[in-house]
Amino acid sequence: MSTSPWWFPHLIIIVIQIVAFIPYAIGSWRFYTHKSRFLFSIGLGIALDALMALSASFGWLPRMQSDQGAPWDSVLFVTHVATTVFGMFGFLFLFVYVLVRGTTKEYPKLRAFQYKVMFRLWCLGVAIALANFIVKVAFGIRIYDYV
């Protein structure tokens, strides 16, 4: 008989998001500061992010409760989904675009946009989900139900 708390299986989601943050941060910073070898880090971040998104979509990751569906009427949840999806697909587009056009080109606007907007929006979306999880564990409520 397992005595672990209900939220224990959800930690895999937290770990994947934190692990995905590291290569996204490294790759984003390296691309922004014109350093080499940024594509591997961004590609790894995309792979981890896509793995988490697909796992959640197919129901392979644990859910809060079986009777709780996705709270699409919550502005906070929609913001979380929109910003993380924008970030993931933005980084995917960036990865393919730079891979095709070449890593030695300047891309001044793209470098600034991906670091100052795209990466930060992805971080915001992940932070919203993490905050919801922490509040759910600590207080037993979903902030998505209130915002």
Task: Tell me the pTM.
Answer: 0.85
At residue 95 the predicted structure's pLDDT band, cuts being 50, 70 and 90, is: very high
Q: How far are the Cα atoms of 5, 14, 47, 128 from residue 131, in angstroms, in the given order?
A: 18, 11, 23, 5
Q: Which residue has the tokens 């989601």?
A: 13
User: Taking a C-beta distance cutoff of 8 angstroms, is the pair 131, 143 a contact?
Assistant: yes
A 10 A CB-CB count for 10 gives 17
- pLDDT higher than threshold 70 for residue 31: yes
pLDDT at position 80 is: 93
For residue 69, which of 50, 82, 56 has the smallest C-alpha distance?
A: 56
What value does the mean pLDDT of the chain take?
Answer: 88
Give the lowest-confidence range in 70-74, 83-87, 115-119, 123-127.
Answer: 70-74
